[in-house]
Amino acid sequence: QKEVEQNSGPLSVPEGAIASLNCTYSDRGSQSFFWYRQYSGKSPELIMFIYSNGDKEDGRFTAQLNKASQYVSLLIRDSQPSDSATYLCAVKDSGGSNYKLTFGKGTLLTVNP
Amino acid sequence: ETGVTQTPRHLVMGMTNKKSLKCEQHLGHNAMYWYKQSAKKPLELMFVYNFKEQTENNSVPSRFSPECPNSSHLFLHLHTLQPEDSALYLCASSQTRGGSGANVLTFGAGSRLTVL
């Protein structure tokens, strides 16, 4: 059974701080990794995806991938109260399917003004 | 209409009822998905259709019956459900990429189902 683990939180940070969200995965052959944000009562929306080891930056968001350690993280710089949401890590299965993503349970982030 | 739309947004049904959830995508994507989201659990993939052909059935009980008449429409027919089936049912679509490429999912707003 392929697993994606996230700390459920809540993770609480003050406004303007860096929020660090972590995710580990069991499927060693996985090549594609995603971070989705889900506001309370809303559907998930994609923030970033990353394929290669290292960092990928998009505005205030940086995704970091370390395939050897089977670890992916999301950093949010200059956190804002509007960033308060549940962040879902998703990993594309390495099997034959082109469609299967395994999701973590999500980390609830609260940014305090 | 833009994106992925789901109807109804809320549904309450008894265990003997038959109802359907509807999803429509306006993105020109070729793949459509049903996911189940329950409290304290990860998103669970139920079904995937690619160009209206079913490509994944994630061991879903037969009381859930999907239908995909074309690449833009997806239904989930519900019958004789159990209270534990109460959850948020999310439809999503994606444009498939081959090889190691990834499918970025666009989700609908979801249908909140309560089974009494």
Query: pLDDT tens digits, residue range B28-40?
Result: 999 999 999 999 8
Question: Looking at the predicted structure, is the pLDDT value of residue B45 above 50?
Answer: yes
Average pLDDT of the segment spanning B64-70: 96
pLDDT band, residue A1 (cuts 50/70/90): confident
**Amino acid B102: pLDDT:** 62
Using an 8 Å Cβ cutoff, are B111 and B21 in contact?
Answer: yes
Look at A105 and B40 and tell me if their CB atoms are within 8 Å: yes
Is B84 in a helix, a strand, or coil? helix
Q: What is the rounded (10 degree) CA torsion for A17, A83, B32, A4?
A: 40
Share of chain B above pLDDT 90, in %: 75
What is the chain B residue with the closest CA to A106? Answer: B42
Considering only the beta carbons, identify the residue of B45, B100, B101 that sits closest to A100: B45
Q: Which residues of A touch B97 (CB under 8 A)?
A: 98
- pLDDT given at position A73: 97
CA B66 – CA B78 distance, rounded (Å): 9
| Per-residue confidence (pLDDT) for residue B110, from 0 to 100 | 96
Residue-wise pLDDT for B74-100, tens only, equals: 999 999 999 999 999 999 999 876 544
Angstrom distances, CA of residue B23 to CA of A45, B51, B89, B105: 17, 15, 10, 14
Q: Chain A within 8 Å of B107 (Cβ-Cβ)?
A: yes
Tokens 């580990």 sit on residue: A24
